[in-house]
Structure 1
């Protein structure tokens, strides 16, 4: 069932949903590989892991390294990534038009990401979203992160919208699980980052959307629960 109007509020995942940040992540990984005498990692090989987080990307880049040792490398990855932040990536095609359509309709929008909050906040002025994004919650903002529903529930509370009137958009199964647990309708962003074994149909989101430009039209959005 779809709505004839835009949603009252929309919360978005960041990496792989609003932002094609894989090139920034790849630059960070390549800096780590270069420091260890290894060649760059092909972007296409890293891209599917971006929405899985820093640990998944470091594991993909250094599969031969013990997991405990890789864990000690996470701060190094984040340091490199902070230096590359916003230098190579950009919003996916159609994102700006979609956000403009939401804003024109009076829809409030915000971001709930598992990226550390300090990194997500540094991106906002780079993207021109600092004044437009009504709420920003990172993976370390609260005591829990997605797929726990807490970040989505707190985000809805902060913008003053009931969760059933707030839609969550994400490209990873954790996003859809969090939305369902929070009582929010969900949109599966099929343009994002996925592993070959991922099955977005099995996630059972309310709707699946191929391209951001589709969400510039109200009929594409699910209605309230």
Structure 2
């Protein structure tokens, strides 16, 4: 491993970056489809939409339904998701090793997600992260959410860190836009969820990595 040090603070998106939560989301979507006599949706069909949020997932599950009606179904989706929370998903391969490496190096980590704060908080003990995560900001925690940079700035402030000492890791364009505007260094998590038409290179992140395992070597994503 290189002598290049980890940053003082690493901030992460949650779904599609730290956590492969698509199986939980699929269970919620298929509960909705079942009560409407629709066949189950496949994981492969839903996975690209997960990082886009609840509305995108409900839209993908019910494309034949008008947008106004789908909007009224969002609370139903969230209710189903609460019941499935943490039952099917798990951290991406390599994430636990990377979090342990950050901690062993004396650095700290936190989460900035657009998921409702209550759902993100509920996941922490299920993952064993409740006492390890240094800051958690949800999509409804503040007056703005990603791609606005406010959540990243507040996260850095709560961690007592300068923006220059933080790195944000995310799998969606909103993550990288927020990091650039904060401003803080950004890593595009190519192992996450994205649509076929998404072009991660156009997001202008500082570096793109294929796997959480790549982050174990800071020389792959930190300045020399």
TM range (shorter): over 0.9
SS at match of 1:168: strand
- In the TM superposition, residue 3 of structure 1 has moved relative to its aligned partner by 8.1
- In the TM superposition, residue 221 of structure 1 has moved relative to its aligned partner by 2.5
SS at match of 2:222: coil
1:167 matched residue in structure 2: 167
Does structure 1 residue 34 correspond to structure 2 residue 34?
Answer: yes
CA distance in structure 2 between the partners assigned to 1:177 and 1:85 by the alignment: 28
2:190 matched residue in structure 1: 190
SS at match of 2:201: helix
CA distance in structure 2 between the partners assigned to 1:3 and 1:183 by the alignment: 25
Question: Does the CA contact (< 8 Å) of 1:7 and 1:221 recur in 2?
Answer: no
Question: Does the CA contact (< 8 Å) of 1:95 and 1:212 recur in 2?
Answer: yes
Question: Does the CA contact (< 8 Å) of 1:152 and 1:178 recur in 2?
Answer: yes
Show CA shifts across 1:87-142 (max 9, x none).
Answer: 00000000000000010001110000000000000000000000000000000000
Q: CA RMSD in A?
A: 1.2
CA distance in structure 1 between the partners assigned to 2:183 and 2:103 by the alignment: 24
Question: Does the CA contact (< 8 Å) of 2:11 and 2:167 recur in 1?
Answer: yes
CA distance in structure 2 between the partners assigned to 1:64 and 1:123 by the alignment: 32
Question: Does the CA contact (< 8 Å) of 1:3 and 1:223 recur in 2?
Answer: no
Q: Can you give the 5+ residue segments of structure 1 that lack an aligned partner in the other structure? A: none
Q: Can you give the 5+ residue segments of structure 2 that lack an aligned partner in the other structure? A: none
- In the TM superposition, residue 214 of structure 1 has moved relative to its aligned partner by 1.0
Q: TM-score when scaled to structure 2?
A: 0.98
- In the TM superposition, residue 220 of structure 1 has moved relative to its aligned partner by 2.0
Q: TM-score when scaled to structure 1?
A: 0.97
1:220 matched residue in structure 2: 220
Does structure 1 residue 103 correspond to structure 2 residue 86?
Answer: no
Alignment of 1:13-92 (within 5 A): 13-92=13-92
User: Paired residues, what number?
Assistant: 223
CA distance in structure 2 between the partners assigned to 1:115 and 1:168 by the alignment: 16
CA distance in structure 2 between the partners assigned to 1:157 and 1:223 by the alignment: 23
Question: Does the CA contact (< 8 Å) of 2:6 and 2:222 recur in 1?
Answer: no
CA distance in structure 1 between the partners assigned to 2:172 and 2:142 by the alignment: 20
CA distance in structure 2 between the partners assigned to 1:138 and 1:88 by the alignment: 21
SS at match of 1:186: strand
